[in-house]
Amino acid sequence: MPPHVSSFPAWSRLLPPLCALAAILAGGGAFVLFVDHSIHQMRKEGVFLPTDRVPEFVEAIAFHAMDYAAHSQERNEVVFIGDSTCIAESMPTLFQECTGLRAYNLGTPGALGFEGYEIILRAYLEHHPKPQIIAFCLHPSALSIRSEPQWVGDRFVNVYGSGPCVWQFNPQSIAPIVKLAMQMTMDSDRNAYADKPMSAKSGHSFRSLRETMGKQRGFWLWPGNYTRFVNGRLADDTESFPVTENMKEGVAKILRLAGRHDIPVLFRLSPILANGKSDLSRLNAWLDTLEAGEECRVIVSRPEVLKYDRALFGNETPEHCNDRGAREFTRFMAEEVARILHAADTLAESR
């Protein structure tokens, strides 16, 4: 009897291990993609907020601004960005009454830093129609020091940063999957804290602050401004508000982002409690370079434009305006923005 001859070629014996290898590679690739998707999903879900305690009001404000920037699609002619003085001094509802221009305040605590402001503005521009102008409002001290606590800003950037996710296998890399699987539990835990007071100064729970800022389109008087104002402290006569190189670059990045979208920027430094002897020469010299720069069209307003007195500031936080001061500042901003946009329309018509 002739020996048995297989009807299958010899290479066919390699099919099972090759299929197994292909399955392993495909499974590994799918796993990596799932982790990458999970990380982005976590950012979308907003896991920036804590689930084991009541949020700090600075966390709640940052979350509210990012949530609006990333998930709303409203049209606004004017967008305010900046630090806590932007939150407490730019009133979009009053601004709209004065100008007829719809506006939103994306100001966040100074602890987020310029990288945090940039992330929020980028998210806004990706999800909303282009505004006519961006009003960038900062306290002069924000150009020389970064507010504490820094961990809020660092965590905000880690969660919402728009850079690519570089994934490497290690024990920590499994955490996003575990957290995503626990999302329902996390949401339940977060809701348990939503109506508890955030701090003695804020006067709000997470939910009530979110509702208040939603109605006021991002505006909120900073804690301490609810009480009756008294004469605040004056700044040191020798205050010069130096601008560090890191802060210069932080401002430049935001201006470049606006420039890529062809949006002019009104760079407005908040009014300060300083008398006529304060030395602002170095600060004004730097502001001159902004207007002469090429990042985008920049219109600069300076602290001394408004002769603010102490009666317009809060008593506990004298760097923030009280309600009366915020209204006066908003009216001034409304006049300035209207003048800038009118000049731009006139120039466009003449061409």
Q: Rounded to the nearest 10 degrees, what angle do helices 323-350 and 92-99 cross at?
A: 40
Sorted by sequence, the CB contacts under 8 Å of residue 93 that are 6+ apart come out as 216, 217, 219
* CA distance linking residue 6 with residue 288, whole number of Å: 86
User: What is the token pair recorded at 172?
Assistant: 């920590």
How many other C-beta atoms are found inside a 10 Å radius of the C-beta of residue 273? 18
Q: Is residue 43 part of a domain?
A: no
pLDDT at 349: 58
Q: Is residue 324 part of a domain?
A: yes
Q: Is residue 135 part of a domain?
A: yes
By C-alpha distance, which of 213, 253, 229, 202 is closest to 309?
229
pLDDT at 306: 56
Query: Residue 165: what residue type?
Result: C
User: What is the token pair recorded at 31?
Assistant: 């796993």
Q: Is residue 98 part of a domain?
A: yes
* CA distance linking residue 290 with residue 283, whole number of Å: 11
Q: Count of domains in the chain? A: 1
Q: Is residue 228 part of a domain?
A: yes
Q: Is residue 177 part of a domain?
A: no
Tens digits of residue pLDDT in 102-114: 999 999 988 899 9
By C-alpha distance, which of 105, 78, 13 is closest to 340?
78
CB 54 within 8 A of CB 193: yes
pLDDT at 6: 53
Residue 31 Cα to chain centre, angstroms? 32
- The residue segments making up the domain with residue 344 are 55-151+201-350
Residue 92's φ and ψ, nearest 5 degrees, are: -60, -35
CATH code, 143: 3.40.50.1110
Q: Is residue 225 part of a domain?
A: yes
Residue with tokens 């109506």, as numbered in its chain: 195
Q: In what order do the strands lie in the sheet with 103-105?
A: 103-105, 78-82, 133-138, 265-269, 298-301
Q: Is residue 212 classed exposed, middle or buried when 0-12, 13-18 and 19+ CB atoms within 10 A define those classes?
A: middle
Sorted by sequence, the CB contacts under 8 Å of residue 208 that are 6+ apart come out as 195
Q: Is residue 299 part of a domain?
A: yes
Tens place of pLDDT for every residue, the chain, 351 residues?
Answer: 555 555 556 666 667 777 777 778 777 666 666 655 555 555 544 568 877 788 888 899 999 999 999 999 999 999 999 999 999 999 999 999 999 999 999 999 888 999 999 999 999 999 999 999 999 999 888 887 665 557 788 888 888 885 544 444 445 455 555 555 555 455 555 566 788 888 766 788 888 999 999 999 999 987 754 433 333 334 444 456 788 888 899 999 999 999 999 999 999 988 877 555 566 778 888 888 988 887 789 998 876 655 567 778 776 666 788 888 899 999 999 999 999 998 877 656 555
How many other C-beta atoms are found inside a 10 Å radius of the C-beta of residue 292? 8
